[in-house]
Amino acid sequence: MRILGFAITPFSLMVIIIDSFFVSWSPQYLKGIIDPSSLVCVLGCVIGTSLVAYGSELGKAFKTNPSQEEAITAINVYKLAVRVSIGSGLISTLLGWIAILGHMGGIGIDIAALTGGAATSLITILYGLTFAFCLFLPLQYYFQSQLSKDS
C-alpha cells in the first residue's frame, strides 16, 4: 500500500503540472468551478500521502464505531489529510503562478494561458481549503469525540 502511495502522490502533482503548462483537459463550460486536474491534485496527494504514512491501517479511518486504537489512528489520518490538502493546494497555486509567469515572456502574450493558469491556481487552493476545513477537520473532530466517549 505504501508503494502505491508513493506512486499516487507524484502522479497527482504531475497532472496539475501538465494541465498548467501544456493542455487544458476540461471543457470551457466546466472551467468555472470544476477543474478535474485540481481535484486530482488535491485528493491524489491526500490519498497518496495517507497510504505512505499509514499503509493498510488507513481503513481504520473509515469505521463508524471505532475502538480506541482505531479512533486514534483515524484522528491522525485526518490531521495528515488537513495538512496535505492545504499544502497540495498551495503547491499547485505556486505551479499555476509559475505557469502564468512562463507565458508572459515574448512578443505574443497568450491571454488564455495567463487566465488559465490563474484559474487553476485559485481553484486548486479553493479545493485544498474546502476539503481541509469542510471534510477532513470535521471528520477529525468526530473521531476525537468518539475517543472521548470511550474514555
| Residue 45 near residue 13 (C-beta atoms within 8 A) | yes
Between 9 and 81, name the one with better pLDDT: 81
Across the chain, mean pLDDT equals 82
| Residue 127 near residue 42 (C-beta atoms within 8 A) | yes
Residue 54: per-residue pLDDT: 92
pLDDT confidence tier of residue 83, bands split at 50, 70 and 90: very high
Q: With pLDDT > 90 as the criterion, what percentage of the chain qualifies? A: 28
Where do the structural domains in the chain lie, given as residue ranges? 2-150
Residue 82: per-residue pLDDT: 96
Residue 7: per-residue pLDDT: 82
Question: What region does 27 belong to: left with phi over 0, alpha with psi -120 to 50, or beta?
Answer: beta
**Mean pLDDT across the stretch 78-95?**
93
5-40 pLDDT, tens digit per residue, is 778 877 877 777 776 666 555 555 555 667 788 888
Q: With pLDDT > 70 as the criterion, what percentage of the chain qualifies? A: 83
Residue 95: per-residue pLDDT: 85
| Residue 37 near residue 15 (C-beta atoms within 8 A) | yes
Residue 9: per-residue pLDDT: 76
| C-alpha to C-alpha distance for 122 and 89, rounded to whole angstroms | 9
Instruction: Reduce the secondary structure of the chain to three states and give it as a string.
Output: CHHHHHHHHHHHHHHHHHHHHCCCCCCHHHCCCCCHHHHHHHHHHHHHHHHHHHHHHHHHHHCCCCCHHHHHHHHHHHHHHHHHHHHHHHHHHHHHHHHHHHHCCCCCCCHHHHHHHHHHHHHHHHHHHHHHHHHHHHHHHHHHHHHHHHC
| Residue 96 near residue 124 (C-beta atoms within 8 A) | yes
pLDDT confidence tier of residue 77, bands split at 50, 70 and 90: very high
Q: In this model, does residue 129 exceed pLDDT 80?
A: yes
| Residue 51 near residue 4 (C-beta atoms within 8 A) | yes
pLDDT confidence tier of residue 48, bands split at 50, 70 and 90: very high
